[in-house]
Structure 1
Amino acid sequence: PEQNQNLSSFSILPSEVLMNTKLETSDLRWTNHPADDQQWEELSGLDEDSNSVRTFQICTPSSPASYWLRTRWIPRRAATTLYVEIRFTMMECAAMNQRHCKETFNLYYYQADADEATPTHPAWMENPYTKAAAVAADHLLRRGGAERRSNLKLLRLEGLQGAGLYLAFQSQGACMALLAVRVFFRKCPPLRRAFAAFPETVPHSLVEQARGVCVENAVTPPGELAQPPSMLCGEDGQWVGPPTSSCACRPGYEAGDGDLRCRACPSGHFKVEPGSGGCTSCPGNSNTRIPGSAYCPCLHGYDRADSDPPHAACTRPPSAPRHPVSQLNDSSLILEWVEPLDRGGRGDLSYRLLCSACGEAGLVGSCSPCDDSVLFRPSQAGLTRPRVTVWGLRPQTRYMFTIQSVNGVSAVSQSEPASVSINVTSSRDAPPPVSGLRRAAASESSLSLSWTAPVLQNQPPVLEYQLRFRPLADHQAPWEYRSSPSCSLVLTGLRRATRYQVQVRAQTQAGYGSFSGAGSFSTLPDGTGPAHSQLVLTAVLVTVATLLLVATATAGFICYRRKRRRRRPSRADKAGHYQMGQAMKVYIDPFTYEDPNEAVREFAKEIDASFVKIEEVIGAGEFGEVCRGRLRLPGRKENFVAIKTLKGGYTEQQRRDFLSEASIMGQFQHPNIIHLEGVITTSCPVMILTEFMENGALDSFLRVNDGQFTPIQLVGMLRGIAAGMKHLADMSFVHRDLAARNILVNANLVCKVSDFGLSRFLTENSSDPTYTSSL
């Protein structure tokens, strides 16, 4: 239950009222108990607006008996959390001088699926009724006083399950008037957030999420789980946290009014990806006249390459290369040219060459693509510099070379690449073909080959031989080339047990001759060549080296461990070191006193009741109510205190058990242990006063503020708890009930150990450190 909620903030939230006595003008027909002694009296009166209302009054300050008043059955509909707003007045007990007078009353409720209550059912006691709160007055009426201020309390009933419930008011000595009771539940208002829309929602539970939909022109991006947006509708009728939403403005739309709606991109603008980003202007040489466009089409004559992003400007192919120049040297040729005037607006300009052989010089014939005997350096395509070397030309042959300039959009353009051509005629005779290609030796990864030098008649000598090879079974594999100045060559790096196709040709000053006929040679399988014995020897050497390394490392580790043992101090040395220090104060068990009141007088300070003012009931303990109040000692500043009270009708043993906690707390003086202010034992009720911890118990405080603390703050809180427990241990004291619910947190996030009801003393000579407890 929650009291003193901010009523002004609740007034702006949508709600549904289930009961409101201010709107009733006739008998409310509520049930009194005991039925034969109807102390709750129903009367007609006027509210603050002079409207006629029905009220209940009771005044039994001289009697501690319980008088009950129960409402009619209230259907709760779909809500699991209800709010009860109570307006009442309360007489001050000090002026009545009655021993049993109280300034509080209790609120109970009973859940039922139908209107089944009778004057005797359910039984008039806390079980089967559930206690919602002990309600204390903020403003008290005095006899003869002119001021008549009423009290307004807002209580919350959570986790309701039945179809409805009854409310019951219990008075045990109060003199009060129940002016108005209103029961309602909150509804979360319609909401738009994160491009999702949520309807008005009735809160159900902390785990049930309200479902929403993406707003107009918003979608779930590709790759996201296709789940509708969801958000938690809090029990207080307020939306909690950000929504779980993957909604985003679809392509062609951008965020409008924050994250509430999506609006279309205007003409001349576009947006490619879904998301909260904005629209951008169309890039160069593109435009769109349709609002809500996801891309901008290119203007006529311009294109984008497949690799260009949608926000890239549209470009066009380059113009043709200019001024080609050739330099012929027997069978080799150097071609150079000037780059085009227009690169098409791109930086990825490159060149490629087309080669055609057009027959012998002086003869007219058709041209055909050059065979693979014509080679290009550095390459035939993808050239970035306007220069290439060509060799392998046949003598006395006319060639035509076409130089094309291309860029990234040439492949998607409708027009052919711009080009320029040049004709070249080679001269002099090339060397004759090589013959006699044979295998001299072989291994698993190499072939040793040799051949017969060609017979040259009135021709320049051979400069070098060029050999090419590829796997025989793979005709699509590219040729690999090797060169040799002599008539032999060893090919290495080959695959095991593979047959290769091999050709060789000679080169003179006139250029390269034609390749010889293809020869077929195979490498050896595993273990059949000289490399096998070399591999075995290598494996043996590696194994021996590994064993030597392991043995060396093991010996070194053993020596290191022996040295560490010789340096390690003995356990007796540690004990002697730890025993040095000052003696600590030892805890004294208050139950060892013949008169327990003597322990209270020795360890707890007696405080006059006139120095204490109780302001609000904040809970209930084992022995009575727990309140918040103010303590004003002479010469000291007024401060808040927590007050534990001993309820009436107690036995002497209950009084001793209640005050024993004060006798225990009074022995500890530590910043991380709850501080005892004093006790009140000379007046009724008996009270224990401690410092007031604003943030309450640690467990509920962490749940409410989950994820709001830094690791440094959390570690500081843990260190405080550890320091408090160490102090108890140093005093030979066992707490017995350390838990987060028994750790209190103040406004500065300082954690302090509290609740010593289950604690016990542990002597140094105790041979059995175990203990038992009963709850």
Structure 2
Amino acid sequence: MIINLHCDLCIMAQILDFFSKICFVIPGGVKYYVDPSTYEDPSEAVKEFAREIDPSHIKIEEVIGAAQFGEVSRGRYRPVGRREVLVAVKTLRWGASDRERGIFLSEAGVLGQFDHPNVLKLEGVVTQTPPERIITEFMENGPLDAFLRENEGQFSVLQLVGMLRGVGAGMRYLSERNFVHRDLAARNVLVNSNLVCKVSDFGLSRLMRGLDHNVPTYTASLGSKIPVRWTAPEAFQHRKFSTASDVWSFGILMWEVMSYGERPYWDMSNQEVMKAVADQYRLPPPHSCPPALHSVMLQCWQAERGDRPGFDQLLSSLDRLIRHPASLKAEPTRSCSQPLLSPTPIDLTSVATVGEWLKALRMDKYQEEFDRANIDTLDRVSRLTVEDVQNLGVNLLGHQRKIVSAAQQLRSHLTQGQVEV
């Protein structure tokens, strides 16, 4: 894993400016995306858009995870006349139904149509000899949300904005092709060894076929799976998906990145999230998030989809911030006309021990560290400082902040005599 923590600001800005000028020159104009579901046989879409690979050119090294219809492995692919490359190999499990096979292959039919540095690259497929496989480029650092949680606090704000810029560039490319992702989230963005972020996981993606108030729109069927925390209000209320709903999701992804992979809306239920969003409440800025970035998020979360910026405008906004790093300094949060949510306080009414407190906080993984330090009463917990928590061995900044904030809440309750010690 390569993490460049000392990237020169000027060089990064120049690189991003260069990419903004070359990535979207499409000879002959934009070629619109073709939905593989429109094919009677999904394998026909695969034949049209994906290259068949000789399985003897692939060497599987190890299984690295599970997929919906099989397993994912890391491997090496040596095509004729080209150098060997690291690849990820999705293998369809034995005994999969025809329907599952069709869904599995449709991903290749989607990916094979895209060619952009911020969209996962399809190397090819194996369909003529079992087991069937989909081969993509290998992304060393895995999903963006997990990568950020594992490396909390290790990046500058400018580097985080650079990652967001990459995702935005990939989404602009897709939206230009009349393509709506419907599941844009940090978990569905992959990161390579150079910190390049690429949009992936197109399981819910669709072609925008119809018009709704002159906006290209995909209308989901009743009962369709919807990732509520990342979904725009018109999508979870009326099943209307468009580039504007992807922009809303991009705003949530921005929040995830700036919070180093924190869960959007914390422990709120899906029903609570939908009600809060419908009531115009929005997520507050993550800790140390520059107001300028939170302002961009709020633009993405406009209630009326026509009021949201397009990906072109979002990229322009991010580019301006990158070229003027002083604008990314964390300042005191300015007053906001939009009502903002706050994390739900921990219910301390049934908390009587340190273990119960940690469990309520979902920090019980640190039980041994608390035991080792003889922090065995709620009174001692309530007096914890950031330095104390660091000395316990809690290294993730987000966990440090969560524990200290909860300790302060506990101290307030103890002072009021609401919790026995």
- What TM-score do you get using the length of structure 1 for normalisation? 0.25
Structure number with the bigger relative contact order (C-alpha 8 A, sep ≥ 6) is 2
Point out the structure with max Rg over C-alpha: 1
Q: Which has the higher helix share?
A: 2
Q: Which has the higher strand share?
A: 1
